[in-house]
Copies of this chain bind each other. A is one copy, B any other.
Amino acid sequence: MKATIRDVAKLAGVSVATVSRVMNQKGYVNSETEQKVNKAMKQLKFEPNQMARGLAGKRTKTIALILPDISNPFFPGLARGVEDIAQYNGYTVILCNSDDMGVKERSYIEVLKKKYIDGIIFATNNLVREDLERMEEAQIPFVMLDRAPNMESGCVIKVDNFGGAKAAVEHMLDVGCKKIAHVYGPQELTTAKDRLAGYEEVAKQQPWYTPTLMIPGNFTIDGGVKAVEALLGKHPDVDGIFAGNDLMAVGVLKGLKHRGISVPGQVAVCGFDGVNLTEITEPELSTIAQPIYQIGELAANKLIERINLSSTHYETVELGVSLIVRESTQKS
């Protein structure tokens, strides 16, 4: 039925080793022989069995992307970046949703190990040091997104959350806000923590600064809605809200709308992430955009680089973010 390397060898009148050498461009092969082999491969429509290759050579040309939830609007773009680069380099990507649960992540790692995956990209935050160490032992290259760099190996890709948050608050001051609140995400996440820190850095310099202007929002739309309630109770006079991510910013918009407060007229709103949905809200949301797609690309590129070089040295890359000004902060 399907041609094997031995069929090709027989047809070309050479040994399997030679065929293998031709396929993989490895070792010495006389160019005439090579022609013969190539012709035989064409003729038999030979397709090397990846399974067999994997077994013998320990390479599967498959990587995995573990993320919390592909339904979260932040991740499709990232996944797309990863997939495009993977595809370009002949890799295939396995998608894993962990719902941000450590157990699920660990169980995925086990499965992936058994499948001899070549490497893993973690867009999650629940693995403890120990888990990562086990990855190293198992010699599985990996890259992490938005992690605190407390390892001696592995690659971490992050964006300038601190700087981005500062830029957001400064921008809001620029457009004339006199009292800016911050709705922050889960503090176990470095991203959320850094953004909060960025807010505080700038806010602390302001006369209106007070800790109760910082409200938890859980990184969800609903969290944003609730945060507005909580906030307006204590500070009916806020005129700017910086949300720790776009989802919460959308929630904030909803909450304000519900209260009959106009945006940006009475309150300016700024998000963080730059997901597509910031363009379809009314008003459109100003936001600190992360280069989401590029992060995916970079992660995949770094991973593939590590796979090829079987290098494991610690490395961290920080990408910049950019302020995108839209209607939600046009106070003038």
Which residue of chain B has its CB nearest to the CB of A77? B71
State how many residues of chain A have any CB contact under 8 Å with chain B. 47
Is A16 an interface residue, CB under 8 A from the partner?
no
How many Å from the CB of A64 to the closest CB on chain B?
8
Is A69 an interface residue, CB under 8 A from the partner?
yes
Which residue of chain B has its CB nearest to the CB of A61? B115
Is A215 an interface residue, CB under 8 A from the partner?
no
Which chain B residues border A51 with CB–CB below 8 Å?
51, 54-55, 60, 115-116
Is A277 an interface residue, CB under 8 A from the partner?
yes
Which chain B residues border A210 with CB–CB below 8 Å?
none
Contact A95 B97 (CB under 8 A): no
Which chain B residues border A69 with CB–CB below 8 Å?
80
Which chain B residues border A80 with CB–CB below 8 Å?
69-71, 97
Cβ contacts A99-115/B at 8 Å (1 or 0 each): 00000000000111111
Which chain B residues border A94 with CB–CB below 8 Å?
62, 92-95
Contact B79 A95 (CB under 8 A): yes
How many Å from the CB of A153 to the closest CB on chain B?
19
Of A72, A75, A95, most B-chain CB atoms within 10 Å = A95
**CA–CA, A76 and B72, complex, Å:** 8
Contact A111 B96 (CB under 8 A): no
How many Å from the CB of A292 to the closest CB on chain B?
10
Is A6 an interface residue, CB under 8 A from the partner?
no
Contact A257 B282 (CB under 8 A): yes
Cβ contacts A260-299/B at 8 Å (1 or 0 each): 0000000000000000110011100000000000000000
Which chain B residues border A186 with CB–CB below 8 Å?
none
CB-CB contacts below 8 Å: A182-239 with B: 221
How many Å from the CB of A59 to the closest CB on chain B?
10
Which chain B residues border A317 with CB–CB below 8 Å?
none
How many Å from the CB of A252 to the closest CB on chain B?
12
Of A70, A96, A282, most B-chain CB atoms within 10 Å = A70
Q: Which residues of A contact B (CB under 8 A)?
A: 47-52, 54-55, 60, 62, 65, 69-73, 75-77, 79-80, 83-84, 87, 92-97, 110-116, 221, 250, 253-254, 257, 276-277, 280-282
Q: Given known contacts A49-B114, A51-B116, A70-B70, what 12 new A-B pairs fall within 8 Å (CB)? A: A47-B113, A51-B55, A55-B55, A65-B95, A73-B76, A79-B95, A80-B97, A83-B95, A87-B96, A92-B112, A253-B282, A281-B281
